[in-house]
Amino acid sequence: MSVLIALMLAASPATATAEITEKKPRLKCEWIHEVGTSRPRRICEKRAEKPKPAEPPPFKWEKNLDKLPDMAIAAMLRTLPLAEVREMRTINKRWERIASYVLRERLLPLINRTALSSLDGNLKTALRDKLAELAPDQLLVLSDQVAPEVVEFLTRNLAKESVWLPGRYHPRTGRWQPPKLGSPAVYKPGVPTEVYTGEHGQAPVGQRHGNVSYEQELHGPNTRQTTSKMHVKSMVGTKGGKPTVLETGSANITASAMKDNTESVVVLEAPGIAKMFQEYADDVTASKKVDPELTKRLKGFNERNPAGIRAALAPFVNVGELLTSELEGADKVVVRMFLVSEAQKGTTNQPVEALCALARSGVDVRVTVDEGQAAQQWYVNDALKALEAAGVQVSTETGRGGGGIMHDKLVFAHYPAELRKDERSLPTPERWTVMIGSSGITKNVIENENYENLLILDDKKLYDELMKHDTAAEANRTEGVPAYTPPPPRY
């Protein structure tokens, strides 16, 4: 019975308890003496309650802080953890701009970044050592051209290279005997690597050499166009399943790129842009032509510019358009391109015309291309003449030691500092920008016919390192436009 009573009490309405505990109204009482009686009478009445003071409106710190100038907000954000600064970008457009400004200041020094040049010595060894230092668990390779032994050397997969016996004429019969394999390569456990390449018949597609798997030859995004190609040159490395390492630049993974050509690459340990390249690689290997979601996120990444890094990954973001916009405002530009052309597609996609306009306005502009292409490709020769007529310094180069080719895809741009427009705004700091990747300035690039990549970095350290590469190539440089010599016909 006692248990039942306890349950009933527990289930009784809370209002009863509330009524018992409710405060009695305060009374105001006084004693009065009436005529004709000797006993006083007590009279009470309820006291009028004092009105409660109005509650102050909730403090909206964003609105109040918006009254501060940009520099004061930036100073505050510099004291916060990076995760909180990232969250501040979601408040409104102004906070997004200021928080991104602070993130660029704080993130860039944290990025492990290195520039490598084929003119410094052995590019193959330098690239292998850098990849070994960053130690990715897996590698994904997208390269227009590959040589299997170079891939396997870079991924520390090769213990001993294969030995080929040279071709010769038989001493008795006089017949030509082609080169033959004397001893095959010897493999050791290396970094698990997947390789995708262009349609050149160079890779043993479908085979696995040690830890390197040669997956597929890829065409360009335009399947109806025979000249459309997969021209990307990059590697993405993952650690713990997350993309963290990115390598990109002009160099294919071939013996001539590593040994004979003038080539330049950068290697970054930057999870944000590495993840973007990984998603791009997934689209390329799936032969996608459009990806609205990737296009939206990549354009948003470029607009926010959180770490002074931007990218054009064609055909999802056009290389020519981004390059044209990036040239605006520069007061010095140096272009090193294997190929250039006057191709354009509207006023927002005309890189060569943008260079001409800068030169006509008095900006110091220099353009260097490969000597053989300048002499034998009419569109390269015509583009150089147009640039020279606009006041651009033009020149040509050969590869290392006069051999090979000048295969760089590299643009340097310097932008002067700008004073604050008013007391509330942020100053625009002096900027040194490097643009590097797989793409030349060609008709296919302008018209989005290829898979191409262009990486843009606001980084004085990389700018200075790659300027040394440009200076080292001076010995192979010839000023002016060479005479056009049509290439010999092919039969």
Instruction: Give the pLDDT score at 380.
Output: 97
- Does a structural domain hold residue 485? no
* pLDDT tens digits, 437-473: 999 999 999 999 999 999 999 999 999 999 999 999 9
**Triad 303, 304, 307: Cα angle to 5°:** 120
CATH number of the domain to which 300 belongs: 3.30.870.10
Greater model confidence, 41 or 78: 78
> In terms of domains, do 334 and 354 share one?
yes
- Evaluate whether residue 48 is within a structural domain: no
Token code pair at residue 44: 């009470």
Does residue 388 share a domain with residue 328? yes
> Strand runs (DSSP E) across 12-73, as ranges?
27-32, 41-46
What does the pLDDT look like over 292-306, one tens digit per residue? 999 999 999 998 887
pLDDT at 11 exceeding the cut of 50: no
- Both 143 and 201 in a single domain? yes
Host domain of residue 93: 62-107
Q: Are residues 186 and 97 in the same domain?
A: no
Q: How many domains does the chain have?
A: 2
Instruction: Answer yes or no: is 227 within a domain.
Output: yes
CATH of residue 99: 1.20.1280
Mean model confidence pLDDT for the chain = 88
Same domain for 92 and 219, yes or no, is no
Residue 361 in domain? yes
328-342 pLDDT, tens digit per residue, is 999 999 999 999 999
CB atoms within 10 A of CB 289: 12
Query: Using 50, 70 and 90 to split pLDDT, how confident is the model at 488?
Result: confident
> Could you write out the DSSP letters of every residue in 407-429?
--EEEEEEE--B--SSTTSPPB-
Give yes or no: residues 260 and 372 share one domain. yes
In angstroms, rounded to a whole number, what is the distance separating the alpha carbons of residues 82 and 102? Answer: 9
Q: 3-state DSSP call for residue 289?
A: coil
- Higher pLDDT: 28 or 271? It is 271
Q: Is the pLDDT of residue 12 over 90?
A: no
276 and 417 together in one domain: yes
Residues 193 and 102 in one domain: no
Q: What is the pLDDT of residues 41-51, one digit of tens each?
A: 777 777 666 77
pLDDT at 23: 61
pTM: 0.81
5 lies in a domain?
no
326 and 425 co-located in one domain: yes
- In this structure, the answer to whether residues 197 and 77 fall within a common structural domain is no
Q: What is the pLDDT of residue 372?
A: 95
Asked if residue 49 is part of any domain, the answer here is no
474 assigned to some structural domain: yes
Is residue 15 in some structural domain? no
| 93 and 153 inside one domain | no
Instruction: Give pLDDT, residue 6.
Output: 43
| Same domain as 204, residue 79 | no
157 vs 40: CA distance, rounded Å: 111
Burial bucket for residue 422 (CB in 10 Å: 0-12, 13-18, 19+):
exposed
**Token output for 312:** 């054009």
